[in-house]
């Protein structure tokens, strides 16, 4: 059971005791991602994530790495559009030292000018590497265009132009304004005692305060129809079709998740069986959902030889119409629900997964759903709910698309109009 507590300085904490394991997973969650920056700040949240590992007032970057390696622990971080997470997993007997490293990184980052300059080259290479991967670019280029009038449409890594303008003072000012007790959550799962953990977290982080009030920046996002085509010197063309999806806390989210699994979420799904297994037209085809606080998108991806694009589009369009008109058999719905519940329960056997679930939920929802509550909501979904979800997300009149790779003179806009 996840217990929610508050440190002396107001930081919220999600704690779950798991006495039968020997590890502890710990996360620092900051509600600041790429959508929380102004256009000229695009990429700074991700830049700060990198710089947190480049040294503190007490440790060099090498000392941070060597100290965590000596513990046999794992430490990492990632930035999304809505938040940044720093996390570690260590044996329970090493947690005190790991917490000392993590709290030092959060409270006393150095942001040395020389390190900022060196890391700029690393991030510019990361941007260039990403641009060279059409199977990755096709997704984010489309979503960035769909939300082009909002900060949600800004790339997580930033651009070469914005990154080039960041210096140490600029990064420190952003960090001091946006790393605040009001938008930080801590989470831990593993072998510890609740009171002992609270005492340790209060000692390490409970005395930290910001003088200035927290003033978050954000812009509301809404889906806009988009079309993106990028020529790349590769053999395949990578295509993504997108539709207005559901926001994170939409009441239909579990029905939509079940629909996604049935439609394109696995090897037994309608899309995979029809397009790949029966017709051999693609190696990879799948659907997925992306949800944010105020908007969402439902997407279909396929990678193919450009000569196969017309037939692939025809088959996808046929499957879309079929799932909107005819409910999935109740037995298949029950099988899929059992699959989802099983995957969810198996995932909870990892301290890292449990820490991540509790931390993200507390940060983004303000509360944590218990395992039994989530399972009950999945099991309550009916075939009619799934049909309703299919109709809700497959709105062809609002479809967007992206095509990246070997376009080979193919007019993908015309194909979209023809089949959808």
Residues with a catalytic annotation lie at 49
How far is the C-alpha of 379 from the C-alpha of 209, rounded, in Å? 44
How far is the C-alpha of 321 from the C-alpha of 333, rounded, in Å? 19
The two three-digit tokens of residue 200, written as one number: 């340790």
How far is the C-alpha of 326 from the C-alpha of 396, rounded, in Å? 17
Residues 351, 20: contact at Cβ < 8 Å?
no
367-383 exposure pattern, b = at least 16 Cβ within 10 A, e = fewer: ebeeeeebbeebeebeb
Count CA atoms within 13 Å of residue 172 on its CB side: 13
By C-alpha distance, which of 314, 298, 157, 311 is closest to 240? 298
């Amino acid at each position: 059971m996840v217990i929610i507590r508050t440190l002396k300085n107001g930081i919220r904490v999600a704690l779950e005791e798991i006495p039968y394991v020997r590890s502890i997973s710990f996360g620092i969650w900051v509600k600041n991602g790429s959508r929380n920056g102004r256009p000229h700040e695009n990429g700074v949240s991700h830049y700060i994530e990198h710089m947190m590992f480049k040294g503190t007032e007490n440790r060099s970057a090498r000392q941070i790495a060597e100290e965590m390696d000596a513990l046999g622990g794992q430490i990492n971080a990632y930035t999304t559009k809505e938040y940044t997470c720093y996390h570690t997993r260590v044996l329970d007997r090493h947690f005190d030292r790991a917490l000392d490293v993590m709290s030092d990184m959060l409270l006393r980052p150095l942001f040395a000018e020389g390190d900022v300059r060196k890391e700029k080259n690393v991030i510019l290479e990361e941007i260039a590497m990403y641009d060279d991967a059409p199977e990755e670019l096709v997704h984010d280029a489309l979503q960035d265009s769909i939300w082009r009038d909002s900060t949600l449409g800004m790339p997580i890594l930033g651009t070469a132009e914005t990154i080039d303008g960041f210096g140490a003072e600029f990064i420190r000012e952003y960090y001091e304004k946006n790393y605040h007790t009001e938008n930080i959550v801590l989470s831990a799962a593993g072998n510890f005692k609740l009171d002992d953990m609270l005492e340790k977290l209060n000692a390490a982080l409970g005395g930290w305060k910001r003088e200035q009030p927290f003033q978050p920046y954000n812009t509301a996002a809404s889906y806009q129809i988009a079309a993106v085509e990028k020529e790349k010197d590769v053999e395949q063309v990578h295509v993504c079709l997108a539709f207005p999806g559901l926001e994170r806390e939409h009441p239909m989210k579990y029905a939509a998740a079940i629909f996604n699994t049935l439609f394109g979420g696995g090897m037994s799904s309608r899309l995979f069986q029809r397009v790949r297994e029966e017709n051999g037209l693609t190696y990879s085809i799948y659907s997925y959902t992306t949800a944010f606080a105020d908007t969402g998108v439902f997407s279909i991806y396929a990678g193919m030889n450009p000569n196969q694009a017309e037939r692939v589009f025809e088959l996808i369009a046929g499957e879309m119409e079929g799932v909107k008109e005819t409910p999935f058999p109740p037995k298949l719905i029950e099988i899929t629900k059992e699959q989802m519940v099983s995957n969810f329960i198996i995932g909870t056997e990892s301290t890292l997964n449990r820490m991540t679930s509790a931390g993200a939920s507390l940060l983004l929802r303000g509360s944590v759903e218990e395992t039994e509550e989530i399972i009950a909501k999945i099991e309550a979904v009916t075939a009619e709910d799934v049909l309703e979800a299919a109709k809700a997300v497959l709105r062809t009149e609002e479809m967007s698309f992206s095509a990246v790779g070997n376009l080979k003179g193919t007019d993908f806009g015309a194909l979209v109009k023809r089949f959808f």
